[in-house]
Chains A and B, each alone.
Chain A
């Protein structure tokens, strides 16, 4: 069974601070995705990383895929209250099945 562990589970920071969320697995995935979920809504895809060592940037968000394609990180620079939400990583495995991590609930205080 493939498992993804996310850390931290909860993060409360002040506006303007930086943060990093980690997603680790003992399994190799063909690609890894990061989602953001608002209360009462479904997850919305932020990025897909495919190649080991790949780094992708989306405005103030930087996503990195580990060289061995088993782990990933999400770094947010100068966090804003609008970044508040649940961040989920998901590994794409055989049959296009997604294995989700437990999520990181981020709160950014103004």
Chain B
């Protein structure tokens, strides 16, 4: 049973370009979460999605950032017109349920995408 998959693992962009980060959840999981980690810091929640719906985007910057989780295919985190401050590791996690209890709600993390903005 494959874990959460993220690609690319490393992404280099110049200022002003677009970055697209992909996340395939664990098989059977329909809840996806995105987190950002700056160097030497903990992870910060960005957005929570279910299939075709954004449930909570309270941690995502209002401008330049968007996320989707279509009916078919991976979840995408899109950053438009990247700036140097966007350089970070972006992690995706998935869970079987949300609200079902501490064990069915457990989030499993992918290996992350390390974005570097030149």
Give residues in A with beta carbon < 8 Å to B. Answer: 4, 6, 30-31, 33, 35, 40-45, 48, 50, 88, 90, 92, 95-103, 105
Contact = CB atoms under 8 A, between A and B. Distances in A.
A70 to B, nearest CB: 16
Contacts, number: 69
B40 to A, nearest CB: 8
Contacts of A99: 45
Which of the listed residues B41, B56, B107 has the most CB atoms from chain A within 10 Å of its own CB? B107
Contacts of B56: 95, 97
Nearest to B55: A95
B42 A42 contact: no
A74 B109 CA distance: 21
Contacts of B105: 92, 96
A103 B78 CA distance: 27
B110 interface: yes
Given A42-B110, A96-B99, 16 more contacts: A31-B102, A40-B114, A42-B4, A43-B109, A44-B109, A90-B43, A92-B105, A95-B55, A95-B98, A96-B48, A97-B45, A98-B45, A98-B93, A98-B107, A100-B43, A103-B42
